[in-house]
Amino acid sequence: MRRWSRILIVAVPALLLLPATALIATVSLPLPIGIAVTTCAAAAHATLLLVHRAPTVTLLLITALIAAQAVLTAFFVLLPSSALILLALHAAAARGSGRVAIAVAALAPVLTTARYAMDPTVTGSGFGPAPWLLGVALLAVCAVAVLMGLLRRAELRTAALLEERLDFVRRDQDNRQRQAASAERSRISGELHDVLGHSLTVIVAQARVARFIPARTAPALEVIEETARTSLRELRQTLRTLQEGHADAPSPAPVTPDALAERMRGLGLSVERRVQGVPRRLNSDSELALGRFLQEGLTNALRHGTGGVEWIEDWRDDLVVIRLSNPVAGDATTGDGTGLGLPAMQKRIAAVGGHVEVASDGPFTVIAVLPYAESTALGTEAVR
């Protein structure tokens, strides 16, 4: 389309103006001068091929060629092809140098009017308009061409700014989508880790019991069976939340603190639990985050620990502090796990307004600090 527009912008003025220019030049002037003037006019038309790539250069070349025509003629004559300067002024003001366009629009009418006023053939004939009237008319026509070009420049600039803004919006949307996808992948990996990590640790521990302690084989297999069923049920529910139409489905709730403590004791982990202050009922999101924290912390203690777990709950006026401590062999954060446990704990607690602290000097300790707003006081016996 742009190629055809370039052809048309040269062909149409050439068809409309160049034949009349050639006729006037060859009839009114001596033949050699007429041919030279016609050649300058043809060159000016051909210069329009550059108007899209170099509008300012095109304006200067057309102005020079029109000036050459004025120099070649022995008397004042305004050839039709001189109108090309209006197209060049518009193009330069729109896409080139606005200052050059304004300068040419101001100087060209003045010089043309001076040439008209000083031509003896014009002053002696008594025909034609007054010089000042011709000057005003030429200035007005050139000013209109420049103003139209400046309006086109503003339109092009607005379109460019709009395109740039749309591009920024598109890139911002792409970044948000990538961040959302990354957050969703992180959430999914955390859910799967929470569901499978604890269950598989229990299964492995009970399999060892069944293997090395024949008298406890049957109970161990029962625990393995029940743990596997629970894990499958929670896994199905987690996967269901990822399906279309189930994005808002609740996450599987972990076992209660009482049941979790009894289960870990049944697996051979010594758990000493102490409750300080008055326990409160948390909202569902906070309860889920706290339950996952306890489940992950006790599972890590079972997997990496070498002794019992000290579990302290400190229920204060505006927050609860949960501390899990146990001795470990080596660094519990660099064991044979996936490395997702601690980051998942930290993200879950942070999502409900709390934070997790880790201390590895001495017994390995993880501390969850979870604020709560309006909550209902429960009896201490209700959570023990």
Report the pLDDT averaged over residues 133-145: 92
Residues near 371 by beta carbon (within 8 Å), at least 6 away in sequence:
318, 319, 353, 354
Of the two residues 174 and 120, the one the predictor is more confident about is 174
pLDDT tens digits, residue range 212-258? Answer: 778 778 877 887 887 788 778 777 777 776 665 444 545 555 567 88
Task: Please say if the pLDDT value at position 265 is more than 70.
Answer: yes
- SS3 per residue for the chain: CHHHHHHHHHHHHHHHHHHHHHHHHHHHCCHHHHHHHHHHHHHHHHHHHHCCCCHHHHHHHHHHHHHHHHHHCCCCCCCHHHHHHHHHHHHHHHHCCHHHHHHHHHHHHHHHHHHHHHCHHHHHHCCCCCHHHHHHHHHHHHHHHHHHHHHHHHHHHHHHHHHHHHHHHHHHHHHHHHHHHHHHHHHHHHHHHHHHHHHHHHHHHHHHHHHHCHHHHHHHHHHHHHHHHHHHHHHHHHHHCCCCCCCCCCCCCCCCHHHHHHHHHHCCCCEEEEEEECCEECCHHHHHHHHHHHHHHHHHHHHHECCCEEEEEEECCCEEEEEEEECECCCHHHCCCCCCHHHHHHHHHHHCCCEEEEECCCCEEEEEEEECCCCEECCHHHCC
pLDDT tens digits, residue range 366-375? Answer: 999 998 764 4
The pLDDT-based confidence of 330 (bands split at 50, 70, 90) is low
Where a domain ends, among 68, 103, 128?
Answer: 128
Structural domain boundaries, residue 356: 256-382
pLDDT tens digits, residue range 163-215? Answer: 999 999 999 999 998 888 887 777 777 767 766 776 777 787 778 777 777 87
In a domain? residue 163: no
pLDDT recorded at residue 166: 93
In a domain? residue 224: no
pLDDT recorded at residue 374: 45
How many structural domains comprise the chain? Answer: 2
Task: Please say if the pLDDT value at position 141 is more than 90.
Answer: yes
Report the pLDDT averaged over residues 18-30: 88
CA-nearest of 284, 282, 362, 361 to 322 is: 282
Report the pLDDT averaged over residues 264-268: 78
pLDDT tens digits, residue range 338-364? Answer: 455 677 778 888 888 899 998 877 788
Report the pLDDT averaged over residues 128-143: 87
In a domain? residue 23: yes
pLDDT tens digits, residue range 290-326? Answer: 888 888 888 888 777 777 889 999 998 888 999 999 8
Beta-ladder partners of 305: 328
pLDDT recorded at residue 256: 78
In a domain? residue 336: yes
pLDDT tens digits, residue range 29-39? Answer: 888 888 999 99
In a domain? residue 214: no
Where a domain ends, among 94, 128, 162?
Answer: 128
pLDDT recorded at residue 231: 76
The pLDDT-based confidence of 335 (bands split at 50, 70, 90) is very low
Task: Please say if the pLDDT value at position 332 is more than 60.
Answer: no
Where a domain ends, among 85, 100, 128?
Answer: 128
Task: Please say if the pLDDT value at position 384 is more than 60.
Answer: no
In a domain? residue 238: no
In a domain? residue 199: no
pLDDT recorded at residue 379: 38
pLDDT recorded at residue 75: 67
- Any idea what the CATH number is for the domain that residue 274 is in? 3.30.565.10
In a domain? residue 296: yes
Report the pLDDT averaged over residues 153-164: 93
The pLDDT-based confidence of 289 (bands split at 50, 70, 90) is confident
Average pLDDT, the chain: 81
